[in-house]
Structure 1
């Protein structure tokens, strides 16, 4: 039987004259019948005809008395036809408790009309080629549904919220349905997650540790520890403590020129001697004081690095020369000498008033000059016990060097006392006369 002829025959059928009376009588005996609230006798009549045929096609034993199931499994020719009768599903008999439309190669979207049979206990749509979304919200009236089989279809993968609905049924009901994530893919994802997440966490912790304790200069300034440098930062600033950046050596100290990551040029004093924890603690306390010094006639201490085997003090880089070289290179004017002396005095007064515990080195080799001849005291010592007399003596020696344009020769390497002897030897006359002669020349 062709579906077109069946539909045509149904459309040509008219209800008998007493059909209206029959419907009313049925509704009096059973008001829950779905067609009781409808006045479309043609649709009701056609639905009863389809119900009678479908009951027999489903091999029910006594269709006169009851219609308990729709069984069209493996009936690909007629299953789509009966699904197309929307008027039948609209008035779906309440006696139907099971619908089986499996193994029919049906295509298209989910046959939502079957869900109008809200009283059913079982629905089987397996082994078809249905696609698209499953209307989960339309299942809510089917409170008696205990068996649902949608396996072997091509439905769209369900959302996380829909998975709660599927938990009502056996997992095999959705095998290869497309609704649930592919088990193999899920396993792979789970393995990736279980292995990848710890690795990701370890990498993140490693990066965080590296940024905080190895190269904090890669962090925004607000997250950095102020005035603190790490060995890696200093190594990067000096190209691995290269010879090209080595600008001086002393007893136990190497001095480098460096460039920080933000472009700031610095002078780095490196101490590599192994010291005790107590000495390291004292060094750290001294550095905390030095970074607080702030005066126009002092080299700014930017920070420090404190490790057992590597200690460093980082200061701003000054392009100018020191006073010792400046004096030997030319015959400076007295005006310029006086400017340098006044700058040094200002720096001394600042330290005496604000930081009396901080000593300083006033040798001409330790006082640097900026481009505009601004003197900068560059070497300090926290906890200096020098008396005021001693400090005045230091300044006096510095003053003499400025006045006579002399630096310590090889004969006078014994320090300030040696310098006095140097003056007595080379300038045996009256010091006032020597000073006057210098002033006249300059």
Structure 2
């Protein structure tokens, strides 16, 4: 195995012994250095000595995003400011970001984990790495950048946006790996098609995509349009950033979690009790090696499941299923729970539609209503007599979409089929849901 993969083949007993040692150290670290955690533990009648097994993690209190906001900016840091070498953050509804800090050791560990992930995705030291994740406070760009450099890749820090320049550099620099949000990479792929560039004319072999939920159908679309293998990467700034987990290119069957750095739980978000292996629930992460901002039982809001079966690639690490969605993105329409990624999954199976859509939440009287805005392909549009959007073939396509949504997603939706290029394209994370219910009430 490559040097970055050796720990990923440890036995379960070896890994759990390492996790317990690091968990005990982390709990002692926060108890000693973070007043917030010390107060929480004392209120729960817990001391660092209370943690004698991995099962004892259930004794520890949860951390939620509002705790980071309440301790803005540096209240949860566990080291002196002089030891912090990097600060990242994620945007918040109040206008202030949730702030995370890193020591030199933290950033070195992060880079090594991302490098390990790039190897799992199929990358090699000699590859050129085209990084279309956004740079800045968002952890995606710099997280992938330093991981690629750690592996030894020649890294192109193109960031997001300026799509035609991206394509020029892909043609000229001939990268083997491309990374970005799936919705933005789709934007690049579609622009290539418009320019007459075919998959066999580009050098890219692997794609590392994440920062938003995406379906298996989106994977197939990206792989076909670019002629690549596409893998999912997972991370969030509060836990570290990208690199917490990643799929391997051999199996593309669940994301390998860096068990040596993170302890994962899956809980029922209502009862807060653990769910059985293989069952969907909310992901909860505890960091095991972070110094500047160690995090205890962080409720991510992401919905997924885990398995501890050995992967066919040979790695023994815990694997998580691809994230279905976030609790706060879950739509509850007339008593039915549904995630945008499930709508995407079935839309992409319908011919004559491009992989772009938006969900508009509106009101019909006092009832919630869903408008699904989709976009026809240029070929379908050009074959409409007089480009007439009222033509019967548009009506037939609408019925097909309505049937798919009602049959598979169990929700009746108002379907709006739009001309090509009508739905905004992403240059970062796609905006899938527009909630107009308050506007309807106000009017």
Bucket of the pairwise TM-score, normalised by the shorter protein: under 0.3
Give the TM-score, by structure 1 length. 0.21
**Larger of the two Rg values belongs to structure:** 1
Structure 1 or 2: more helix by fraction: 1
Where relative contact order (Cα < 8 A, 6+ residues apart) is larger, the structure is 2
Give the TM-score, by structure 2 length. 0.21
